Structure 1
Amino acid sequence: MNGVNLTLRVLHHGEKHLARKLTAVAERHRAEPEIHHVALDLAGWSREHAQRLSDTADRHGLDLRDFAGTPLPHLLSALGEKTAETVVHRPEPALLLLRDLRELHLDAAENSVHWEMLAQVAQVAQVAQVAQVAQVAQVAQVAQVAQATKDDELLGLASSCHPATLRQMRWTNTMIKVLAPQVLTSL
């Protein structure tokens, strides 16, 4: 397995993991409408990223499909509602929320690093291929152009998904900045 395939696999796993954690946080903090709804929206972004990564990996000869599937948010909603009702009446739900936001931020940051790595390797590969194409015969140019198309695809994927991951990080960071003073001074 080459480094690009490894990065695709790790990033696919990271986006699926983040989607599951965002969904869990949304359900756990159902009593906080902003947290609940925004976390569900952000989970959808990560699920879309995972699907796009899987599609791209297929074209690179890597199978990332998850045959077990992932539970849909509505399957957990009944349990989530009861959990949210319980959590809102406990003295530490705000501390739990801060912990959840911190973990989400760190997970999104890890994904962000992998998106950046993918974008950088795609850019470097494009530059190297342009240099090689200038030095090889006509027949080899066709193969190089085909390979460059894959790298264009990787760069396009990273360029379109990475900004959403950065927005996920900004949301968690903003929520931590807003909530931390209130929570930590009220203990």
Structure 2
Amino acid sequence: MTGVGIGIVLRLLHDGERDLEQDLLTAAARHRADHEFHHVALDVARWSREHAARLADTGRDHGLDLPGPRGNPSPGALAALREKASQALGRREETGFLLLNDLRDLHLAAARNSLHWEMLAQAAQATRDERLLSLVTDCHPQTLRQIRWTNTMIKVLAPQLLAGV
């Protein structure tokens, strides 16, 4: 069992990774017509799911009872409706703005998680917790890649949508 601070950061990061996974899955479904975005979002959502599962395991060593990954929502009428709407909208300007907005929110969520990973790394070094440091070393680079991906997508879309280039 460790200090309260590490437990707080573990919980914040766990919740942040679970939220980011859900946000990525929602955005992937919303923008299904944009195949590149859709598939990459699903891939990077899997990273957040894995991070949350590993954080839940690590949390037990620190006296926390963190829930495992959320179950994937079953495809129902709402998912089918989203897919039809996505196909109907295609790559219209309005959908581009919606995608840009989603990318901004995803970027900020990933950046928040990255800061929590950094805090956890510093605490792991200070307490010489090799298991915690190993977790950060494995997971944080993927979070940084999520940030770079959203940033790159924003750089590509923003000029087209905002300046009409």
Q: TM-score with structure 2 length normalisation?
A: 0.90
Match of 1:137 in 2: none
Alignment partners' CA distance in 2, 1:164 and 1:64: 21
Evaluate the alpha carbon distance shift between residue 98 and residue 89 of structure 1 in structure 2; reply closer, same or farther with a 3 A threshold: closer
| Number of aligned positions between the proteins | 162
Describe how 1:31-180 pairs up with structure 2 within 5 A.
31-65=33-67, 69-72=70-73, 74=75, 77-88=79-90, 91-126=93-128, 151-180=129-158
Structure 2 unpaired stretches of 5+: none
Alignment partners' CA distance in 2, 1:71 and 1:82: 20
Letter in 1 for 2:148: R
Evaluate the alpha carbon distance shift between residue 96 and residue 179 of structure 1 in structure 2; reply closer, same or farther with a 3 A threshold: same
Letter in 2 for 1:34: E
SS at match of 1:56: helix
Deviation at 1:66, TM superposition (A): 5.1
Letter in 2 for 1:39: A
Match of 1:148 in 2: none
Deviation at 1:89, TM superposition (A): 6.9
CA contact (8 A) 1:31 1:85 kept: yes
CA contact (8 A) 2:9 2:120 kept: yes
SS at match of 1:92: helix
Structure 1 unpaired stretches of 5+: 127-150
Letter in 2 for 1:168: Q
Alpha-carbon displacement from aligned partner over 1:21-43 (angstroms, at most 9, x marks no partner): 00011000000011000000010
SS at match of 1:172: helix
SS at match of 2:33: coil
SS at match of 1:63: coil
CA contact (8 A) 1:101 1:175 kept: yes
CA contact (8 A) 1:23 1:73 kept: no
Letter in 1 for 2:104: R
Alignment partners' CA distance in 2, 1:89 and 1:179: 12
Evaluate the alpha carbon distance shift between residue 57 and residue 94 of structure 1 in structure 2; reply closer, same or farther with a 3 A threshold: same
Evaluate the alpha carbon distance shift between residue 36 and residue 89 of structure 1 in structure 2; reply closer, same or farther with a 3 A threshold: closer
Q: TM-score with structure 1 length normalisation?
A: 0.80
RMSD: 2.0
Match of 1:181 in 2: 159
Alpha-carbon displacement from aligned partner over 1:162-185 (angstroms, at most 9, x marks no partner): 000000000000000011101112
Name the stretch that deviates more: 115-124 or 74-83.
74-83
Letter in 1 for 2:37: I
Evaluate the alpha carbon distance shift between residue 115 and residue 73 of structure 1 in structure 2; reply closer, same or farther with a 3 A threshold: farther
CA contact (8 A) 1:7 1:114 kept: yes
CA contact (8 A) 1:28 1:87 kept: no
Name the stretch that deviates more: 51-60 or 104-113.
51-60
